Structure 1
Amino acid sequence: MLLTTKFLRPTADPRSVQRERLCALLQPESVKRLNLVVAPAGFGKTTLVSQWCSQSPSTVAWLSLDEHDDDPRRFWQYVVGAFEHNGLLGLEECRLQLSHCSLQELEGPITALINVLAADGAPWTLVIDDYHFIRDPQLQRQVSYFIDYLPPDILVTLASRTEPALPLSRWRVRRWVEDIHPGLLAFSEEECQRFFHDTMGLEISEQEVRRICSKTEGWVAAMQLSALSGGSIDERKPDEGGKQRIDLDERRISDYVLTEVLEQQPAPVREFLLDTACCPRLCASLCDAVRGTTNSQVLLEQLLRENLFLIPLDTRNEWFRYHDLFRDALLQRARQFKAEDTEKHWQRAVNWLLTHGHVQEGISQIVRHEDWHWLAQVLAEHGNNLIHGGFHLPVLNWLDSLPANVLQESPQLQMLRVWALFFANRVDLLDPLLGDLEDMLDKRVADSHPDAEGALGLQSEISLIRSYLARSKSDDKSASDLTQQVLRDIDHTRIPLKSVTYYGVGLDYYGKGDLAAAEDALKSAVRYGELERKPSTVLSSGGLLAWIQYNRGDIDEALDTCTRVRQWVDQHHSDPRQPMLISCWQNSALIEIYRERNEFQLATSYLAPLLDHVNNGTEPGQHVVIQYVRGHLAFSEGRYREATEALEDAASVARRRREHILFEPPACSAMLARCYLATGHLELAGEWLDQVSHDRFTNPLNREQNQISIARVQVALGHPEAAMATLVPLRLSAEHDQHYRHLVEIQLVYSEALYAEGKIKEAEQMLAQAVQRASEAGFMRLLAEESPTIRRLCLELPTLKAPGRWNSRVLSMLTEQAETKIPDSASPKETEEEAPTESGNTDLPEPLSQRELEVLDLINRGLANKDIASTMGVAPTTVKAHIRNLYGKLAVGSRTEALARARELRLLA
């Protein structure tokens, strides 16, 4: 049961200062999605937000959190409850999903909540107070997903004592965030007057208020100290040594810190502040290491109690930071009077960061200090793990900051650069770098260099990189030979390469279609990746493993693999401030699994982050796989035009960028042929059949997929005997290689060919075998997506009418499919309406797509969303997504603004 008092907005204290200028900043804007009010306790966050809500025209859903709400399921139940409490309808299914789904499947009900808000169409404001209680990394990622895909007119406001671990930098670049931080919360002179007189009840003169406001610049913490001292501040001149070479405003704050705070502290506190000013963040262990003491926790708690500009970074009083201006003032004083000690303290702080898992933070400090020799040592020690943990781009930046001679004299750093470029998909730069590095290593071995053994170890890394490059050029033999060579040498090197090597072996076996051997290699890659702490390799290896398990027909095992790997990666790559590691293979496998189980919302939730990669540019192999699963999902949902667009794009990229793809991607054109058949365009299917006969596939899975589509078209064109001739050898090879998903499809199409030949009994026997195998593997959509003939024959099967959950779900899907007309009967090859000639579409940073232009035209005709959906033959949620995209591209927030902007750009007549 939910505590409904948590949904009640607090009543503002009538004595509190009205913050009109801040309330104006909190108002909704065209692209804004998040108000972020972050300040320590007592800064008036809740009061400010409550004041603003009382003026807001939007419906407000308020949620106050406590320490018990740091649980994903409980948190989302309360969020849904807040919306329901304030009148949002249609959330029953969402609540039901939250009660029954696993923690790993919460993306489904979150997506359902987003869809309900989109369907509602009304402006809403969600306020979450005391968000600092949320620490769970998985929950932070879910909140990030929720905000990423909010529909227009929905605004989230978070009030927190600490900055939440969300992708704020990315959102700020998109202008989604309005930050209300302590600097903005600083009081104006008028607000200072009201604060001292009305709130604090102090009788001080206006002149004194102005003096305090000027000296503190309205900084609330300083004002509180002033008020507690009796409403006056003694005039003191700062020491000559305390003057700052910074701008006037910062100097005033620094002077206040040094004269009114630091110099009035007891000697132990003053020494602690100066000794720890070098630390970007503070915890007791770090401070003890810097100072060589054991009492830092006591002093930190004392600073916190006395509000000495110490900002908590968590709610457990473990991590803190000083206010930036306060720390700057302390550092300046420390460097002036304790320069040698300050340098020693800084070195101790960096060493502590490096040895306690805060490597990136330590490196950032070294770079700022421009200690290039130390940076080279640290990168040589930690760079490989950083790259394989997903931080290849920062490593590239750090390597670029090194002097050229330092980089040129170190083979290890050059190898590190090669790996970073490889993970950044900049493979075109690698050949010359590898050649230069091999020359250097050969020379070192020939000259008996002291590090000759290390040179031999690097040769294994070079061979491994060259094996991946060979795959990108379809030189499978060289790739396999190089990888096997690395496996022979790997136990004699000091470099942890087993996980990456076994991933390469898995790719080789997958390319050959030896799925059993690929599974064994990928399981080894996952195991060694966990031992070597390489999250990106674990995720990629586990993702491809799940993809293979799915295609073999082991759906439950594939889902277990995805869940276990994701849990391990989240545990060892858990900083929510960093981008969430995403594996194209794993998300694609999950999309296929949930699509096959008819759970389209969950499938869509795993597709959404992949589409960001497509839109922002990703390597061509991933692009093809993503567009393939996107097209397959659209096909399953009956959105054939959208499926065709995605699959045509995938096929085009696969052809044009083949030399840059490390593996043979799925047979996208085979799925295109199914779209032609589903929409009744046999002439297009015939054209495809004429063209596809020249295609060649090295991966047996893709070859089988292509041949099955050929047989489907042959049956549809009235050539069942040709279809059977195509399928007979295919059936034997699929069964031998344990390609069970394809085997079911082969049996289904073969039964239709037999039926077309009049061999009814044989057709029924073959169909029964296919349905039995599909039942054992858990395939469902596979049956519902077959031809009308197969679906009708399946409905007549006695075995499907027997009791059982799988039987009932499949029967329901088959019945629903039989009653549904083709929703997208227009030819997939029809050209969309041309954009107006000489329009300003190309002047936009991101031009509108043809689909978005079509939506814009229908909006211009005055059609409502549901009418647009009906006209285009798509779901209403798809229309809303198109509208949200074109709003973003046009930088507008409403239909009226969109039409006005479109006319300016001559996109409309």
Structure 2
Amino acid sequence: MLLTTKFLRPATDPRAVQRDRLSSLLAPGHPKRLNLVLAPAGFGKTTLVSQWCARTSGPIAWLSLDEHDNDPQRFWQYVASAFEHAGLTGLEPCQKSLSGSTDDSINSAITALVNALAADGGPWVLVLDDFQFAANDRIHRQFGYFVDYLPAGVTVTLISRSEPPLPLARWRVRRWVQEIHPALLAFSEDECREFFHSTMGMVIPDQDVQAICQRTEGWVAALQLSALSGSDRGLEQIKSGVAQDAPTAALSIDERHISDYVLSEVLDKQPDEIVAFLLDTACCPRLCASMCDSIRETDNSQELLESLLSQHLFLIPLDNHNEWFRYHDLFRDALLQRIGHADPTRAHQLWQRTVEWLLDHGQVQGAIAQIVQNKDWPWLARVLATHGNNLIHGGYHLPVLNWLDELPADEVKESPQLQMLRVWGHFFANRLDNLEHLLANVEDLLDRRVADSAPDAEGALGVQSEITLIRSYLARSRSDDKNASDLTRQVLAEIDHTQIPLKSVTYYGLGLDDYGKGDLPGAEEALKSAVHYGQVERKPSTVLSSGGLLAWIQYNRGDMDLALETCTNVRKWVDQHYADPSQPRLISCWLSASLTEIFRERNQLRDAAAHLEPLLEHVNKGAEPGQHIIIQHVRGHLAFSDGRYQEAIEYLADAEQVGRKRREHIVFEPPASSALFARCHLAAGQVARARSILESVQSHTLTNPLNREQNSISYARLLVDEGKPEQALEILDSLMAAAMHNEHTRHVVEALLVSAEALDQQNRSEECQERLARALSVAAEAGFLRLFAEESPRLQALLLESPALKNGGNWQRNLTEMLLSPNSEPSSATATGTQPMASKTNASRPARELAEPLSQRELEVLELINAGYANKDIAVRMGVAPATVKAHIRNLYGKLDVGRRTEALAKARELGILTG
């Protein structure tokens, strides 16, 4: 005899949350045959399907399975009877075949059932609830046959806690399957709010709804258990006269009830092997097979993880490769509670193995989080002493400061290493005011240890080097450049004799010093070393900062392709070694600013804005003053290039104000925003304001020659605008030689352009054209483009009339188009030279033919360019002067009919001159 109550669909609660977004997925449709609703206990699977059925107009056969239905004959008897109970006729052949117990008789019964559905022709729906109870392999084979031969219009919906071993892969390819998994079933925040307010009749603040939704991750059973607990408390308040309205008691997660639910509804129904695995791995905040094997001392964890995943047993994948997972937080809490009570010794042992595995595999932050949670302060002190410095230089200075605060005060007070971590943390957080006091404390402790003959002399020397290095950066903030340089070189002399891996930070300091002096080649060499040692020492923030400043220098020097390559390589290394999806992406102000400038200069303003975007968030959250100035400078420059002068003025005014008020907190001299600030006012017709800005800046001492040159060139522009070309030429001619010697290529181009306009004012047309030709030649080699559109309309008109612009290659054509249509952008391929346009002069020639062949020296230069060498490096390798190299390059460009490096390489490959 069959239980007819198993054919009754659960009644729907009109107060329940209506899940229209999921119900629409269950609707029948061609070619779908199967709905698969999979989730652990308590995710609202049955409620969802019942709601959908209540809205469905066609005939529905419902069957609720249990543990007694795992026999094929009984299973199919119930399925056939569910259809019969719902009104399907013509099932006598099916019922007759089911009276036998052989596979053949059951197969005949299934065939008869399919025939009856086909004969009926109606849009039938079959719902099988708790399908996980049908675990028999014979049932699975038979059910696969049943679905394969279903007539059109019949839809089967399986509700299960685990994925059944059916031919789902084949059915997915045929688009027969619609799957609804736990992530879809989880309540959204709006659904959580509706659940508490409408279903449970509770009035709770939105912030409580949000917090509970995040903690439960939308798990319906956890929401309901918490609501029932809160409702009970609210009712007690009403009874006692404390509350008069709907329950409004502060609602929280009732973890005891949830834990009981998990243990009874989930854990106690699993096989012993699965239970043991779940309990052993509950201590892991994130799981992978090698970690689980290590802490369990087994080798079958991957198989068990995949089994849990197929059962949808509260295991959440963290990647697309089924390598990393985590448990639902509340599920994990219940597991930890069970093993903690059942076997506390083993629970602690497993936790220790987990932390050791995390430390051994470079997941230090995760290990520390576990140590802090368990309040093992001696272990935390040891881990911070070992890994804290790299954590700080990896962007985790604020967490390190918080972890230090967790330690007992005496633990930190008696450790020079931990005290220095506090110093570095304050330094990276730009909390410089208290640094001298903290440094004095460390020095006092070192002096006491020397007096007490402490054995760690080598460690003390390393800490002393750290102190010296910090003092060098503090000296820079006071503009004491000589002392900063002396201290940095002292550290460099001592660094090989210490155990402290700080070469990267030291070389970064040297790079800042050389950059501050305008020695771009020296700064470049130091910063290359900083990048190298930063990678060796695993200091990603130093690699980003050093690489970003290096790219900034290469951009100003006129090697934009090399600057872009530097940014790309540095970013790639950091993302390969320090990409953690649970943490914000590490960014560098110098790197993003350099990319913004490079793409802005290439006239790719949208790309420039995209690289600027993360820096704006940095500003909004409170960047340190030096970074704030750089960001606002490039932001203002982009607005200026785009003709948004008022916006540019606002950004640059902010940069100027921060520079004045926070100078003592800046460890380098930022870009001279005053020069661009004055240009914005000049472009807006505010000549008096431009003069006021430049004259006020001239009263201050600028130590960086780049900044002095920028201000001088802007002042020359002002003089030209005021009709004083003689004074402008005097300024420009005096700085030209130094700018060329120091490879300040961008300034050379600007000085040549402004001097050309001054010469035009004096009617010295031939000299004007000569300077324009020189400016175009230097800019073409460097790849500068947008700076021409930023000059005065008169100068742009002179450029368009210049023979040097009319007789060039791709770069010259791009420049002409930009000057004629300054608001248009070239395609990325054209702008970067990756797909240069075919030249008009060579269009009719065979691909491998040149009008004039390249000389042996020009071929050698081409090979060295292809290898990535800068001009000065090519000169060294060829044993010639840099000017000679530039002459070879000009000849090379002329013969190839191109205007820059990337175009030359592409053209050479097209002609078969280069093959690599």
Q: If the TM-score is normalised by the length of the shorter chain, which range does it land in?
A: 0.5 to 0.7
Compute the displacement of 1:248 (Å): 9.2
Residues 1:477 and 2:482 are matched in the alignment = yes
Query: 1:607·1:630 contact (CA, 8 Å) conserved in 2?
Result: yes
Query: 2:548·2:594 contact (CA, 8 Å) conserved in 1?
Result: yes
Compute the displacement of 1:677 (Å): 1.9
Structure index of larger Rg: 2
Q: Which runs of 5+ in 2 are unaligned?
A: 1-10, 23-36, 56-180, 187-205, 230-250, 825-916
**Alpha-carbon distance in structure 2 between the residues aligned to 1:719 and 1:261:** 87
Give the corresponding residue for 2:637. Answer: 632
Q: Which runs of 5+ in 1 are unaligned?
A: 1-14, 27-37, 56-157, 164-171, 190-212, 219-245, 820-909
Which of 385, 389, 392 is 1:384 aligned to? 389
Output the amino acid matched with 1:21.
V
Residues 1:313 and 2:318 are matched in the alignment = yes
**Alpha-carbon distance in structure 1 between the residues aligned to 2:741 and 2:510:** 22
Which secondary structure does the structure 1 equivalent of 2:422 belong to? helix
**Alpha-carbon distance in structure 2 between the residues aligned to 1:183 and 1:452:** 52
Give the corresponding residue for 2:798. Answer: 793
| Most deviating of 537-546 and 342-351 | 342-351
Q: Give per-residue Cα distances to partners, 1:287-328, cap 9 Å, x unaligned.
A: 222222223333333333444433333343333333333333
Give the corresponding residue for 2:663. Answer: 658
Give the corresponding residue for 2:197. Answer: none
CA change 1:318–1:188 in 2 (3 A) is closer
Which of 692, 716, 722 is 2:721 aligned to? 716
Regions of 4+ moved over 6 Å: 15-20, 41-45, 175-182, 213-218
**TM-score, reference length from structure 1:** 0.65
Compute the displacement of 1:462 (Å): 0.7
Within 5 Å, give how 1:314-333 maps onto structure 2: 314-333=319-338
**Alpha-carbon distance in structure 1 between the residues aligned to 2:13 and 2:747:** 70
Compute the displacement of 1:188 (Å): 11
Within 5 Å, give how 1:445-484 maps onto structure 2: 445-484=450-489
Which secondary structure does the structure 1 equivalent of 2:410 belong to? helix
CA change 1:804–1:21 in 2 (3 A) is farther
Which secondary structure does the structure 2 equivalent of 1:321 belong to? strand
Which of 278, 281, 285 is 2:286 aligned to? 281
Within 5 Å, give how 1:207-246 maps onto structure 2: none
**Alpha-carbon distance in structure 1 between the residues aligned to 2:780 and 2:564:** 17
Which of 184, 188, 210 is 2:218 aligned to? 184
Compute the displacement of 1:23 (Å): 5.1
Which secondary structure does the structure 2 equivalent of 1:428 belong to? coil
Within 5 Å, give how 1:875-890 maps onto structure 2: none
Compute the displacement of 1:280 (Å): 2.3
Compute the displacement of 1:336 (Å): 2.2
CA change 1:471–1:262 in 2 (3 A) is same
May I ask how many residue pairs the two structures share in their alignment? 633
CA change 1:325–1:795 in 2 (3 A) is closer
Give the corresponding residue for 1:673. Answer: 678
Within 5 Å, give how 1:444-843 maps onto structure 2: 444-802=449-807, 804-817=809-822
Compute the displacement of 1:576 (Å): 2.4
Which secondary structure does the structure 1 equivalent of 2:749 belong to? helix
Compute the displacement of 1:511 (Å): 0.4
Query: 1:39·1:181 contact (CA, 8 Å) conserved in 2?
Result: no
Compute the displacement of 1:25 (Å): 11
Which secondary structure does the structure 2 equivalent of 1:21 belong to? coil
**Alpha-carbon distance in structure 2 between the residues aligned to 1:553 and 1:183:** 52
Compute the displacement of 1:512 (Å): 0.4
Output the amino acid matched with 1:747.
L
**TM-score, reference length from structure 2:** 0.64
Output the amino acid matched with 2:451.
A
Give the corresponding residue for 1:431. Answer: 436
Compute the displacement of 1:251 (Å): 3.2
**Alpha-carbon distance in structure 2 between the residues aligned to 1:668 and 1:508:** 20
Give the corresponding residue for 1:21. Answer: 17
Compute the displacement of 1:275 (Å): 2.6
CA change 1:293–1:643 in 2 (3 A) is same
Which of 339, 347, 352 is 2:357 aligned to? 352
Which secondary structure does the structure 2 equivalent of 1:465 belong to? helix
| Most deviating of 607-616 and 439-448 | 439-448
| Most deviating of 677-686 and 403-412 | 677-686
Which secondary structure does the structure 2 equivalent of 1:738 belong to? coil
Residues 1:419 and 2:424 are matched in the alignment = yes
Query: 1:41·1:161 contact (CA, 8 Å) conserved in 2?
Result: no
Query: 2:512·2:668 contact (CA, 8 Å) conserved in 1?
Result: yes
Output the amino acid matched with 2:468.
S
CA change 1:377–1:802 in 2 (3 A) is same
Q: Give per-residue Cα distances to partners, 1:719-772, cap 9 Å, x unaligned.
A: 111111111210111011111110111111111111112222111111211111
Query: 1:748·1:790 contact (CA, 8 Å) conserved in 2?
Result: yes
**Alpha-carbon distance in structure 2 between the residues aligned to 1:727 and 1:272:** 76
Compute the displacement of 1:265 (Å): 3.8
CA change 1:585–1:176 in 2 (3 A) is farther
Compute the displacement of 1:44 (Å): 8.5
**Alpha-carbon distance in structure 2 between the residues aligned to 1:360 and 1:817:** 49
Which secondary structure does the structure 2 equivalent of 1:489 belong to? helix
Query: 1:472·1:661 contact (CA, 8 Å) conserved in 2?
Result: yes
CA change 1:772–1:324 in 2 (3 A) is closer
CA change 1:818–1:600 in 2 (3 A) is closer
Compute the displacement of 1:709 (Å): 0.8
CA change 1:308–1:790 in 2 (3 A) is closer
**Alpha-carbon distance in structure 2 between the residues aligned to 1:509 and 1:540:** 15
Give the corresponding residue for 1:33. Answer: none
Bigger relative contact order, structure 1 or 2 (CA pairs below 8 A, ≥6 apart): 1
Output the amino acid matched with 2:544.
L
CA change 1:795–1:352 in 2 (3 A) is same
Query: 2:475·2:483 contact (CA, 8 Å) conserved in 1?
Result: yes
Output the amino acid matched with 1:740.
T
| Most deviating of 372-381 and 661-670 | 661-670
**Alpha-carbon distance in structure 2 between the residues aligned to 1:608 and 1:758:** 45
Which secondary structure does the structure 2 equivalent of 1:507 belong to? helix
Q: Give per-residue Cα distances to partners, 1:346-382, cap 9 Å, x unaligned.
A: 1111111111122111111111111100110111111
Give the corresponding residue for 1:58. Answer: none
CA change 1:392–1:161 in 2 (3 A) is farther
Query: 2:520·2:742 contact (CA, 8 Å) conserved in 1?
Result: yes
| Most deviating of 500-509 and 623-632 | 623-632
Which secondary structure does the structure 2 equivalent of 1:311 belong to? strand
**Alpha-carbon distance in structure 2 between the residues aligned to 1:215 and 1:817:** 62
RMSD: 3.6
**Alpha-carbon distance in structure 2 between the residues aligned to 1:772 and 1:618:** 39
| Identity in percent | 60
Output the amino acid matched with 1:489.
E
Compute the displacement of 1:628 (Å): 0.9
Query: 2:372·2:380 contact (CA, 8 Å) conserved in 1?
Result: yes
Within 5 Å, give how 1:119-134 maps onto structure 2: none
CA change 1:683–1:443 in 2 (3 A) is same
Query: 1:25·1:178 contact (CA, 8 Å) conserved in 2?
Result: no
Compute the displacement of 1:179 (Å): 6.4
Within 5 Å, give how 1:43-442 maps onto structure 2: 184=218, 186=220, 249-442=254-447
Compute the displacement of 1:418 (Å): 0.8
**Alpha-carbon distance in structure 2 between the residues aligned to 1:466 and 1:304:** 54
Q: Give per-residue Cα distances to partners, 1:769-824, cap 9 Å, x unaligned.
A: 111111111111111111122111111111211252211111112223599xxxxx
Query: 1:216·1:252 contact (CA, 8 Å) conserved in 2?
Result: no
CA change 1:216–1:814 in 2 (3 A) is closer
